[in-house]
Amino acid sequence: MVFQQTIKKEVELKGVGLHSGKPVSLKFKPSLSNSGINFVRTDLSEKPVIKADISNLLEQEQSFRRTSIAISYLSSEGQKFAEVQTIEHLMAALFGLGIDNLLIEIDGPEVPGADGSALAFFELLEKAGSIKQETKHKPFQIREPLFIHSHTDIALVILPDADFKVSYTLDYPSSFSSQHLIIKFSSVAEENKMIFKKELAAARTFCLKSEIEKLQKDGLGKGANYKNTLIIDGDKVIDNTLRFDDEFARHKILDLLGDFYLLGLPLKGYAIGVKSGHGANTRLLKKVRKQEEKIRSGGIPFPLSTYSFKTVLDARDIQDILPHRYPFLLVDKILELEEDKRITGVKNVSISEYFFQGHFPGHPVMPGVLIVEALAQTAGILLLSKEENRGKIAYFMGIDKARFRQKVAPGDQLKLEVEVIRLRKNSGQVCAKALVEDKVVAEANLMFVLGGR
């Protein structure tokens, strides 16, 4: 288990998009536990929030040779589309620094290319400092091998392993000699940061001279030059000098780390890549997410794990019990749990919550129905935490005596208190209250029935 982290203070970065060639400014701001990495497109009128998550990935056909995320959102003018392109180097820097929660305001469609590596992002955010947050991560451990393979000899595999390590082999027969590298990462945040800084942060993006014409025809590389992109001509680099003898392989690992960080939690496994790139990375990542979901539903048992009743639960423990996932998981932590009697949970309300995009966006207010849903999920954890109820679902069946007493806004912390009124084998009734700074903001009596998935 490792503590989540965010940055200590706000910092800014300006630059030009590597492919769009457009100037862009970024503001990095601290964010709450369990909020993840969120981009806010400040140049768009509705300021849509795009979470850096697998579910928001653009397919490679729409984002060739780079990793991009996008959402469709409803505006006053109808349905619109917002994207942030070329996020992989920034995401890799966040992996290296162990930053889990961050709000990134961006006034354009593409992250700056900087010098073609993760170094500018890493150094800026390292200077901003990091702070540990109360919530912990439970690393996801690969349980069954997963692989991607194509007829062009591109392969990417991830195997079960007690640690996280990456092996990569790069081979362009018509150009430079093959490169091979293995890097083992650490579960200790400071050690991991030093490994990334020393071995990967400065490794720059590259392409073959023979590829330039096609890339330009496709509208790419408008912000590229010989300083931010290593151009390979035969066995030489044009108008530049390598920072590492095997800089190309190192950059491929850097890209992989940035793509894998879209999983949203630490990973344990052994990734082995052969000539793979963003397409293979994101395809494998989707398989990792499916394996994670299958494990959460009990489809892949872990023979070493045993059931253990807990009185304090973090985000991963909660996801072991509830089937809910982002953006509809509304409980961040359980502070105390007394079996069959009561439970107290917490929901940190962040400005990056998806519902603030449309619910009084000028004066953001958390919808009352979602406060009730947060209470219902807390009650569900109480009912499903018992060993005999694991694997079931607590279906919300009724509500009585509901009252909403004051608004809940970004920055508030909801304290969710639930006490059992009546509990039977397959049903339950609870009294639930939501508080902000010890003042009741909402309350209701809730009824549930337990059923299978």
- 439, 406 contact by CB (below 8 A): yes
| Average pLDDT, integer, range 233-243 | 90
- pLDDT: which is higher, 295 or 306: 295
The 10s digit of each residue's pLDDT in 72-96 is 987 777 889 999 999 999 999 999 9
Rg (CA), the chain: 23
Report the pLDDT value the prediction gives residue 426, as an integer from 0 to 100.
79
Q: First CA to last CA across the chain, in angstroms? A: 29
pLDDT of 305 strictly over 60: no
Q: Is there a cis peptide before residue 327, judged by omega within 30 degrees of 0?
A: yes
Q: Is 53 exposed, middle or buried (0-12, 13-18, 19+ CB in 10 A)?
A: middle
In order, the DSSP letters of 177-189 are PPEEEEEE--SSH
Q: Residue 429, Cβ neighbours under 10 Å: how many?
A: 17
CA–CA separation, 370 and 390 (whole Å): 24
Higher pLDDT, 49 or 322: 49
pLDDT of residue 304: 37
Average pLDDT over residues 67-72: 94
Mean pLDDT of 365-371: 93
Residue positions annotated with a catalytic role: 278, 359
Residue 52, phi then psi, degrees to nearest 5: -75, 90
pLDDT at 1: 63
334's tokens: 């359980």
How far is Cα 260 from Cα 253, in angstroms, rounded to an integer?
10
pLDDT digits (tens, 9 = 90+) for 240-261: 999 999 999 999 999 999 999 9
Quick one: pLDDT at residue 302? 44
Reply yes or no on whether the pLDDT at 178 is more than 70: yes
Are 42 and 17 contacting, i.e. CB atoms less than 8 angstroms apart?
Answer: no
Structural domains of the chain, ranges and CATH numbers in brackets: 2-295 (3.30.1700.10), 315-451 (3.10.129.10)
Q: What is the pLDDT of residue 218?
A: 76
- H or E stretch at 370: helix 368-384
Say how far apart CA 334 and CA 317 lie, in whole Å: 9
Nearest to 293 by CA among 148, 71, 95, 140: 140
Range 211-224 average pLDDT: 80
Q: State the Cα–Cα distance between residues 346 and 412, nearest whole angstrom.
A: 10
Q: What pLDDT is recorded for position 299? A: 59
Alpha-carbon span 333 to 348, nearest angstrom: 9
As to burial, measured by CB atoms within 10 angstroms (0-12 exposed, 13-18 middle, 19+ buried), residue 225 is: middle
Interval 106-145: pLDDT, tens: 999 999 999 999 999 999 999 999 999 988 888 899 989 9
For residue 331, what are the contacts with CB-CB under 8 A and spacing of at least 6?
A: 318, 322, 345, 346, 347, 374, 377, 378, 381, 416
Residue 211: the pLDDT is 80
Count Cβ neighbours within 10 Å for each residue of 370-403 and write b for 16 or more, e otherwise: bbbbbbbbbbbbbbbbbeebeebbbebeeeeebe
Worst-scoring range by mean pLDDT, 135-149, 205-219, 328-342, 408-422? Answer: 205-219
- pLDDT higher than threshold 50 for residue 303: no
DSSP 264-330: SS-EEEEEEEES--HHHHHHHHHHHHHHHHHHHTTSS--TT------SSB-HHHHHHH----TTS--
Q: Which residues contact 429 (CB under 8 A, 6 or more apart)?
A: 420, 421, 422, 423, 445, 446, 447, 448
Residue 223 confidence (pLDDT): 85
Q: What is the pLDDT of residues 314-360, one digit of tens each?
A: 887 888 888 888 788 999 999 999 888 999 999 999 888 888 878 78
pLDDT reported for residue 96: 97
Name the pLDDT band for 306 (thresholds 50, 70, 90): very low
Asked if the model's pLDDT at residue 453 lies above 60, the reply is no
HSE at residue 97, side-chain half, CA atoms within 13 A, is: 30
Two tokens at 137?
A: 């991560």
